[in-house]
Amino acid sequence: MDYKKSEAKEYAREHFVGVWAANLTPFDEALRIDEKAYRENLDHWIRDLKLGGLFIAGKQAEFFSESIAERKRLIELSVQAARDAGDRGGIGRAGIVASTSDTNLDVVLELSRYSADVGADYVIVHSPVLHFGADTEETIYEYYRYLTEQLDIGIAMWNHPDCGYTMSPELCNRIADLPSIVAIKYSADRERYKRLTELAGHKIQVSNPSEEEWLDNIIELGWKLYLCSTPPFLLQSKVDQRMNEYTRLAFEGKHAEARKVRDSLNPVREAFSQSKPKGKPQAHGKAWQDLLGQHGGKVRRPLLNMTDAELATVREAFGRSGLKVA
């Protein structure tokens, strides 16, 4: 951490910006984390694609099938890769936000303190999974309030309906008043995240994982952060960085040019989405990674790997996507 707890919001306003991607985790043949492959992926994302930052050890990374020690190792390797890359020719160091989400609060606290100790910039904590008709809003507020009380590092909220509910903009706004809450990854419809931006956009960075909506959110809502999933390294390559380009153009106020570049990616988006089998986002992303020359590979149980027929569909779609790799 390069800031005091009392400075978390101000620091994030300046540094928690740009395009941030969620990592996929490469495993070796024995399904252990392949550290060499992971380091090479990190170097590509940080040095070649020059992403603003990385979202480490989240759902795309298969944290739910990884031990606490493995999750710590992913965070440590990521922080080290960002540190080793330095300011990347003047654009600044890549940021690291570590997902410390878990159903066990003690694990959340342990991983969050570890993340701060090894040099992560922020942690992101998913809203809790609730059962048996719990008082949802007050329970969620108290959960985040307790985390801000216990931790010094800046905290991003994370809400996705797969936890059983979607947080209201009003609840998110209330939590945004807490002193070290710095951002939210809000997987809600545009009406909700637009309302939250109106309520809390001056206090925290509001983001949504939809790449298709990112440009409009820069232009219409003044967003500065795309805290997303895997598109920044799956829809781009070292020689074809149209997402970075339209983001830069939009930040410079060149909106018509940005839209033209954004729309040129439609064949890539369509090929990617149309080749994705239901229920296999990580396996599909890894198959696409392999075709890009990154390290993808297999997923761990309980996830299912791609079938031969599904892999053939991905290869065909990738070939017609128009995404340049060399």
Considering only CA atoms, which of 70, 51, 48 is closest in space to residue 61? 70
Could you tell me if residue 271 is inside a domain? no
- CA 175 to chain CA mean position, Å: 20
Q: Which domain holds residue 222?
A: 5-237
Rg (the chain; Cα; Å)? 19
What are residue 237's phi and psi, to 5 degrees? -140, 175
Number of domains in the chain: 1
Answer yes or no: is 132 within a domain: yes
| Residue 261 falls inside a structural domain | no
User: Which of 191-223 are b and which e, b meaning 16 or more Cβ less than 10 Å from the residue's Cβ?
Assistant: ebbbbbbebbbebbbbbbbbbebbbbbbeebeb
Question: Are 317 and 272 within 8 A, CB to CB?
Answer: yes
pLDDT the model gives residue 140: 96
10-residue mean pLDDT series, the chain (326 residues): 95 98 98 98 98 98 98 98 97 97 97 98 96 84 98 97 93 98 97 98 97 98 96 98 98 98 98 97 98 98 98 98 94
Maximum distance among all Cα pairs of the chain, rounded to whole angstroms = 54
Residue 289 lies in a domain: no
pLDDT of residue 265: 98
Residue 100, domain member (yes or no): yes
Are 231 and 21 in contact, with CB atoms under 8 Å apart? yes
CB of 173 closer than 8 Å to CB of 199: yes
What is the reported pLDDT for 131?
81
List, as one string, the DSSP characters of 218-260. HHHH---EEE-SSHHHHS-BTTB-HHHHHHHHHHTT-HHHHHH
* CATH number for position 91: 3.20.20.70
Bridge partners of 157, per DSSP, are 125, 184
Residue 276 covered by a domain: no
Residue type, position 298, single letter: K
pTM above 0.95, yes or no: yes
35: in domain: yes
DSSP-derived pairing of the beta strands 95-99 and 205-207: unpaired
User: Coil, strand, or helix at residue 67?
Assistant: coil
pLDDT of residue 132: 75
Cis peptide before 302 (omega within 30 of 0): yes
The answer to whether residue 89 sits within a structural domain is yes
The distance from CA 221 to its chain's CA centroid, rounded to whole angstroms, is 20
Token duo for residue 91? 């654009």
